[in-house]
Structure 1
């Protein structure tokens, strides 16, 4: 909530300044002198990527901050692609399959990770790292998003050579808040969102609940099955409790659950006359599920702050893909369209399960300290299992190799 207000103040002040300059250029003077001492104070943007609450102008880091007002204009799904469009030197390609959280910053990134944690750009939600194979983070009730470019291994581990993307969610407050939102659009677009916040015990215990569902029908015609690809359904829920027994102590317990289903096309023939069009048989199918529980504890001592962040998360992925689209492969090899579209042939299925454990203890300087510092200990464990079954097609020897 604080970041949203900052964003509004920044935009309002910029607009007032622009109007004032314009008026001074085009309007004649009537002898009224402007108040040279008048000034508008802009509240600083606070970032959390340094493991402290620092002002952006005081941190020597190349960082892009997307505030709540900016995030409201972005789709609630496919967040990684929209973040990349709003951030310099950041690119993202949706590979549809298991590589959902794979980004490239300043040309550094992973093309095909060997494991769920084998990336060069790490995605964190409230400081908890997300799997590369997990579903992209939804924009449900976000306070802000920070993109830190360049190597960030000191604070975020070895898989942050390219940078880090930090999602900061809204925390519970003691103010009463309620919102209900709905959208309906073309191609079957649908969105429903519910957010409730308030005090359960005045000044001691507060709760926040956010629920969201969004979906869209496909818009890529499949000329073999007769259906349409590119549709999705995404559901997300997050519940948080904030406990503040005194002015120096805060504890927050958060549970989240996300699930998505889609039948996106992984490859399409761009130069086909009726583009976009697909010829997979059967259609691709991807199902992802992520849930977990996080506990964050903070206490201010006389000369430093102690922070503990704990988390257990579970990610699952089930996918089915037709490896050969007849429109594409008939252009690559001198074979007929029907050769590549035998139902049930060249089919690959993949099932992934990944449970992660995260624990971090750290000490840091207080907000009003003349010297900023942070030190800590981090533990991460991943229990990953994957199962893949599939056929690969063969091409007659006289056709050569692809």
Structure 2
């Protein structure tokens, strides 16, 4: 594998040399750079024009301008305060990030530049695009947690496993909450709106012991009645009842020691509708004969200890997470199956048939020790060791007269461990060039125990007990060469090796046929990237990157019509494209942000095992060719018009192109447009506002499957929500 990495590194350096030779003629005649900018640019009066963006992509605080990675850094204030779908709101400001929501809490994920699960995640660790809270990785079941009291969200494109561990083949989303830093803040924000929407957030922070012990706490509550009527049993579906809280302490007994302790808990209970008949004249309307249940409760505790020495610092990060999921829904929506089979929808109204309930629990423990070079060192480096353990259990009770495998009781345990060592270094090459690279050597082991007991349905075995295991040792890494045209303009070329672990599908769906579960193979990939980042005229920030992905053995779920069995296959695919992003202070109180992404994807060859229809040349699932976002903000000092406080307004627009839900490209999911807007007034103490989310009332289609030419079952997003809010600070 090392020889493969070396050959691909040479290929990447050759690309950079070509890019450099083309770009040199257009370079600016500026002095050589003297190092990182120490402060954001200011105007003559000393006011900030464009804040420098800080990021922790390489496990240390750096300016985003200096990172040879395509990134989107979303400040907390840019995220909609009234969000009902956190994962979707991150994607709205991140080109080439597509959000897929299968309505259930265990089936939400993102794809970056087409890289992601080829279908629904096979188990809790099959995320492909990693998700972390303040640098601590969580599983796919932790994706899309509520965004409250957030400092920033970092979206890192391309393989990030070198520093963030397993299953970051496509990239990483890192949510960084506000921590205890001693800053005094006390505030309450409230909103009420349509369809029973309500939200409240309370924050308190400051010094508990001056210059020694700081604390911060945040509470969050959200409710929504739902916006999809149920035509069978009445009521509304799509409702939310969310309660969450976070507390943090920072102890600094001296200038060299920092201890951060953080605890959080969220209880996110929803009744999301799973399947809707797209062709229904009153779409969206649910034909379910039970009220769906989609509940997720997450508790997390983290202790981070940092000790500074003269030439380096030592950091220990210990984390425990407890994720519990409960869901219940039916398999035969009355409107979908009534239309498909040409019978009265009432024929499928039976709350005891074609239903399933699932209880899942995952406990995660992780420990990382790392050494970082001292601030200001000529060589910037980090090295460490890490341990990750996930203990997962699923308990499923299924009853169906339509689907043989959806019967009986299943209890499965999937226990996973990963040991790893890693290092990353950045070194100057003269005044303008900088080289960086990192490696991670890891060992995975996953043990599977499955127990199935039939409910007496015809065509399935009475019971099945099975055990199996999977293990793998692998090397990932990345290398980059960057060039500073000026202090404020940098270009880079990089090559990265990514990995997504193999293992076992959590439900072992073919147990009912007496077929033991076999491990699916790991996916690997190479990503090549060329990019430029610049901060221009003290008021404009721009970045762009082109990329090429080469993924081998991407993991997908398949269905064999001949045997009515689910199977799990591996599929190669390729993609290439670009991102362009810009933000600007336009003057006179106006701010602008914009981004556009393009991804061209293609499936290569047939999956192993083979599908009954050809898929070579098809597009990768959930990979839109075009994504775009645009944001405009305005702030006006009230004193300019003889009033107190500040008036503000902002609006955002997102475009997501057409996508396909599966490797067969069986159904085309239409492009969609999301527009959010907010207007308000505030002073140092109080504020009022009015907002609207999804102004156009356009429901995204996240998944679709066609039963016939005129029967399409879809999973759809929310419609329009509008309301008013008020805030108080003291």
Instruction: Report the equivalent of 2:88.
Output: 81
CA distance in 1, matches of 2:49, 2:187: 30
Q: Give CA deviations for 1:175-206 in whole Å, capped at 9, x if unaligned.
A: 32100111111111101111000111110001
Greater relative contact order, per chain length (Cα 8 Å cut-off, separation 6+): 2
1:269 equivalent to 2:295? Answer no
1:109 equivalent to 2:116? Answer yes
Instruction: Report the equivalent of 2:197.
Output: 189
Which has the larger displacement, 121-130 or 51-60?
Answer: 121-130
Q: Secondary structure at the match of 1:339?
A: helix
TM, length-normalised to structure 2: 0.48
Shift of 1:339: 2.4
Which structure shows the bigger proportion of residues in helix conformation?
1
**Superposed counterparts of 1:297-316, under 5 Å:** 297-316=305-324
Q: Give CA deviations for 1:203-239 in whole Å, capped at 9, x if unaligned.
A: 0001111001011111101011111101101111001
Q: Which runs of 5+ in 2 are unaligned?
A: 1-39, 404-561, 565-706, 708-730
Report if the CA contact (8 A) 1:193-1:212 is conserved.
Answer: yes
Shift of 1:42: 4.2
CA distance in 1, matches of 2:273, 2:265: 25
Instruction: Report the equivalent of 2:188.
Output: 180
Q: Secondary structure at the match of 1:133?
A: helix
Instruction: Report the equivalent of 1:209.
Output: 217
CA distance in 1, matches of 2:373, 2:108: 32
Instruction: Report the equivalent of 1:50.
Output: 58
Report if the CA contact (8 A) 2:288-2:334 is conserved.
Answer: yes
Match of 1:342 among 334, 344, 350: 350
Match of 2:265 among 257, 262, 272: 257
Instruction: Report the equivalent of 1:371.
Output: 379
C-alpha change, 1:170 and 1:340, in structure 2 (3 Å) is: same
Which structure shows the bigger proportion of residues in strand conformation?
2
1:390 equivalent to 2:398? Answer yes
Instruction: Report the equivalent of 1:321.
Output: 329
CA distance in 2, matches of 1:218, 1:134: 23
Q: Secondary structure at the match of 1:327?
A: helix
1:95 equivalent to 2:95? Answer no
1:361 equivalent to 2:369? Answer yes
C-alpha change, 1:42 and 1:98, in structure 2 (3 Å) is: closer
**Residues matched between the structures, number:** 366
1:131 equivalent to 2:136? Answer no
Q: Secondary structure at the match of 1:273?
A: coil
Q: Secondary structure at the match of 1:278?
A: coil
TM, length-normalised to structure 1: 0.86
Instruction: Report the equivalent of 1:24.
Output: none
Match of 1:162 among 159, 170, 180: 170
Q: Give CA deviations for 1:127-178 in whole Å, capped at 9, x if unaligned.
A: 1222212362111110000000111111122300011000001111223210
Q: Give CA deviations for 1:60-111 in whole Å, capped at 9, x if unaligned.
A: 000100002202x353441111111210111111111143442111101112
Q: Secondary structure at the match of 1:315?
A: strand
Which has the larger displacement, 171-180 or 217-226?
Answer: 171-180
Shift of 1:298: 0.9
CA distance in 1, matches of 2:210, 2:48: 35
Report if the CA contact (8 A) 1:101-1:123 is conserved.
Answer: no
CA distance in 1, matches of 2:262, 2:193: 32
CA distance in 1, matches of 2:48, 2:218: 35
Shift of 1:365: 1.8
CA distance in 1, matches of 2:324, 2:364: 12
CA distance in 2, matches of 1:41, 1:187: 40
Instruction: Report the equivalent of 2:300.
Output: 292
Q: Secondary structure at the match of 2:163?
A: helix
Q: Which runs of 5+ in 1 are unaligned?
A: 1-8, 17-34
Shift of 1:41: 6.5
